[in-house]
């Protein structure tokens, strides 16, 4: 393995820490590439080497530096950002993690949570826009009117409001330009409880 530049290592750590302070989440590889000028392959190689040297924690998904660990105190929890969910037509969810987002414990209940990046415009009347982060409580049950992350029998996922027409459950978009969705088999993966928007973007 080639020797790694200490200056580049410092650059990566400084960028990750600064990004976390500004956005309260760790940057994705795309954001590291854009922010440091390093290619994703180079940045990933450096992160793995730095993890081996115990300069930070990196498992191929999230990055935790000493600064981030200090910021994420007993008053907050770092939730994994697990890929994307469509607020549009049904689409396959990405399984790659973007990183972590810091959320105060006081805003959460006692359940398990995860975060999803939203794309699409089918939920804009509910105040959920393309690029927002939605905090989801893991559950397989939901009541009519709740905004849910749902997966159908083909493994497609979407973010919609759960509705019922008197005979069956369906997924209702909060945008008149989109149609209701009646999947053959509706599986609830979680209920959306919080939403974060990066106003700096």
Told to judge if 122 belongs to the known catalytic residues of this protein, a careful annotator would answer yes
pTM for the complete prediction? 0.60
Catalytic residue among 45, 122, 200, 201: 122
Catalytic residue among 18, 138, 160, 200: 160
Tens digit of each residue's pLDDT (9 = 90 or more) over 38-62: 999 999 999 999 999 999 999 887 7
- Rounded mean pLDDT of the chain? 84
Residues 6+ apart with CB under 8 A from 83: 93, 94, 95, 96, 97, 98, 116, 117
**What's the pLDDT at 87?**
63
CA dist 32 and 187 (Å) reads 35
Told to judge if 44 belongs to the known catalytic residues of this protein, a careful annotator would answer no
**What's the pLDDT at 2?**
66
**What's the pLDDT at 80?**
80
Q: What are phi and psi of 14, to 5 degrees?
A: -60, -40
Partnered with residue 97 across adjacent β-strands are: 82
**What's the pLDDT at 177?**
93
CA dist 113 and 138 (Å) reads 6
**What's the pLDDT at 153?**
64
Tens digit of each residue's pLDDT (9 = 90 or more) over 26-35: 888 889 999 9
pLDDT band, residue 96 (cuts 50/70/90): very low
């Amino acid at each position: 393995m080639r020797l790694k530049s200490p200056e580049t290592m410092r650059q990566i750590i400084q960028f990750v820490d600064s990004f976390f302070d500004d956005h309260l989440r760790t940057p994705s590889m795309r954001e590291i590439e854009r922010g440091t000028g390093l290619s994703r392959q180079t940045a990933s190689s450096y992160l793995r080497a730095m993890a081996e040297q115990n300069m930070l924690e990196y498992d191929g998904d999230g990055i935790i530096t000493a600064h981030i660990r200090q910021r994420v105190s007993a008053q907050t929890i770092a939730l994994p950002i697990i890929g994307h969910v469509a607020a549009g037509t049904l689409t396959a969810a990405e399984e790659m993690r973007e990183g972590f987002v810091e959320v105060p414990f006081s805003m959460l209940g006692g359940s398990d949570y995860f975060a999803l990046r939203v794309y699409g415009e089918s939920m804009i009347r509910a105040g959920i826009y393309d690029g927002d982060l939605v905090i989801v409580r893991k559950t397989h049950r939901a009541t009519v009117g709740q905004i849910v992350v749902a997966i159908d029998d083909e493994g497609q996922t979407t973010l919609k409001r759960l509705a019922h027409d008197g005979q069956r459950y369906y997924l209702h978009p909060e945008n008149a330009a989109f149609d209701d969705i009646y999947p053959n088999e509706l599986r609830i993966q979680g209920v959306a409880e919080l939403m974060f928007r990066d106003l700096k973007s």
